[in-house]
Amino acid sequence: MTGGEARAMRAIAALMAAAAALTLAGCGGQRPPLETITVPLPANVEAEKAPEAPPLPVLEPVPPELVTASRAEDLWHLRSALNVAALICDPKVHTGLIPAYNRLLREHKSLLTAAVQTELDQFRKVDGKKWQAMYDTHMTKLYNTYSLTQQRDKFCVRSADTASLAADLTDEALSAQATAMIFRINMAGDIK
């Protein structure tokens, strides 16, 4: 056997070994997918039902520290929202709203007077000459926002509940809770 023949024989042997290795590699790697076979239960056996998970509680967003520029303004906007609610919500449905709103005005007269004064002072600081027009425009927009809510039913329900709660609070408690109250009324009315 010559050198060339020996090389040819080695090349053929290497090719045959590679072909055998490839053939073996293709045989063992993949298995056919398993099928799921559903077997009916016998008639005398009841299927166990998985217990239903209790519904997740609906969590309300946490109110911000302030909705407006100050606590006093939040309180005054709360009074404004409740005023609009007393005007637009059906008194036959929300029977306690108007009496609660009137009680709120009586019980917290001095607190509300201080709140509006703080808001008026804020407008005077911005422009001493045009403050009244600016304040009037601000309040008109605020009242329009509440009166034009597309979520009137939710707005009225939340406002009625809030008016009743607010009227029964002390001045200190109302002042502390006004931001959360106006935030929740705004959420109910989808007011941004």
Over 53-119, what HEC string results?
A: CCCCCCCCCCCCCCCCCCHHHHHHHHHHHHHHHHHHCCCCCCCCHHHHHHHHHHHCHHHHHHHHHHH
Q: For residue 10, tell me if it sits in a domain.
A: no
Q: For residue 31, tell me if it sits in a domain.
A: no
pTM of the model as a whole: 0.68
Position with higher pLDDT, 43 vs 25: 43
Q: For residue 27, tell me if it sits in a domain.
A: no
pLDDT surpassing 80 at residue 70: yes
Structural domain count of the chain: 1
Residue 10 is predicted with a pLDDT of 73
The whole-number average pLDDT for the span 5-20 is 67
Q: For residue 134, tell me if it sits in a domain.
A: yes
Q: For residue 25, tell me if it sits in a domain.
A: no
Contact 111, 49 (CB under 8 A): no
Q: For residue 139, tell me if it sits in a domain.
A: yes
Residue 71 is predicted with a pLDDT of 92
Range of the domain at 82: 71-188
Q: For residue 182, tell me if it sits in a domain.
A: yes
pLDDT tens-digit series, residues 33-56: 778 777 777 777 776 666 777 877
Q: For residue 151, tell me if it sits in a domain.
A: yes
| pLDDT classification of 32: cutoffs 50, 70, 90 | confident
User: How does the average pLDDT of the chain come out, rounded?
Assistant: 86
Contacts of 142 (CB under 8 A, 6+ apart): 77, 80
